[in-house]
Amino acid sequence: MTSPDGTVLAYTREGEGPAVVLVGGGLDDGAENASLATALSRWFTVYNYARRGRGGSGDTQPYALEREVEDLATLIEAAGGTAHVHGVSSGGALALRAAAAGLPIDRLSVYEVPYAVGEAAAVGWREYVTQLDAALAMDDRDAALRLFMRLAGSGEDDITAAAGSPMWPGLLKIAHTLGYDAACLGDGTPPAAELARITQPTLVATGGVPDPHMSGLRPGYFDAAADAIAALVPNATRKVVAGQSHVADPATISVVLKDFFTG
């Protein structure tokens, strides 16, 4: 389908029932949510798309956060005019901003949105964005990926191993979209005024197990962000999904979403 600015958006549709749109996070071309889409398709018609600049989707320039919101609106329109929405990580930040902008979302779910809570975390985020902008201005995608992995808490040995792995060339192709994720997160802190405008029932979830690939983040990073979101969104429900880390098991999270979307 085509977004208002002419950007072609690649997507899959599975199942029958109420519409659900999945919004992927950083460095995801839609593949990460593919298994979740299949699991949810037992109960819903699930739309899983590649955000602009990723996978089979186009990348009309110049980029603006408003265009990503329009992309999501295009998916919702194709789904029948309204839909439930589930956003993961930075995709959750995009979903929250879309809901605050008034998109016709029935129920909203976000999982482990990486907002920075506390001055130390906010300073770290600002430093990352400054360095990321500089790397992307030179189209140094390798440096951008390494910055992102350091932000997530990866050690230098892990980064070196990743850079030498078969997955690295594919990540380099979409590394410029790290700037798009940074735009979704703004100054890194929860956007209080926007979150307060969200009227939909909103599930704010985290996993109960720290991700081993993010061991450099301070303990409770995602929980602190989720607590802040839940305190700001008027109709929010806070949930910890036991046994899950930053990339949740599709079978487990699909049941959580089914219960919430049909509640």
List of E strands, the chain: 11-14, 19-23, 45-49, 83-88, 105-111, 202-207, 236-241
Tokens 């990339």 correspond to 247
Helix (H, G, I), strand (E, B) or coil at 137: helix
- Contact (CB, 8 A) for 78 and 47: yes
pLDDT at 213: 67
CATH code for 11-116+189-261?
A: 3.40.50.1820
What percent of the chain clears pLDDT 90, i.e. is strictly above it?
91
The residues pairing with 238 across neighbouring beta strands, listed in sequence order, are: 204
Greatest Cα-to-Cα distance within the chain, rounded to the nearest angstrom: 48
pLDDT of the residue at 174: 97
Segments in the chain below pLDDT 70: 213, 215-216
pTM of model > 0.75: yes
- pLDDT in the model for residue 155: 85
Closest CA to 179 of 138, 221, 214: 138
Element (H, E) at 157: helix 156-163
29-78 pLDDT per residue, tens: 999 999 999 999 999 999 999 999 999 999 999 999 999 999 999 999 99
Rg for the chain, CA atoms, rounded: 17
Starting from the edge strand earliest in sequence, which strands make up the sheet with 202-207, in order?
Answer: 11-14, 45-49, 19-23, 83-88, 105-111, 202-207, 236-241
**Which amino acid does the sequence have at 153?**
G
Task: Tell me: cis bond preceding 62? Omega within 30 of 0 counts.
Answer: yes
Which of 110, 44, 53, 42 has the alpha carbon at shortest distance from 79?
A: 44
Q: For residue 250, count other CB atoms closer than 10 A to its CB.
A: 17
d(CA 245, CA 114): 13
pLDDT confidence of residue 160:
95
What is the model's pLDDT at position 84?
A: 98
Query: Where in the chain is CATH 3.40.50.1820?
Result: 11-116+189-261
Region at 243 (left for phi over 0; alpha for psi -120 to 50; beta for the rest): left
φ and ψ at 91, to 5 degrees?
Answer: -65, -25
Give the model's pLDDT for residue 216.
66
**Dihedral sign for Cα atoms in the order 23, 26, 29, 30:** negative
Q: Determine the Cα–Cα distance for residues 25 and 15; give it in Å rounded to an integer.
A: 23
Q: What is the pLDDT of residue 124?
A: 92
Classify the phi-psi angles of 142: left when phi > 0, otherwise alpha if psi is within -120 to 50, otherwise beta. alpha
pLDDT of residue 215: 64
Q: Which of 7, 29, 176 minimizes the C-alpha distance to 75?
A: 7
Residue 209: the pLDDT is 86
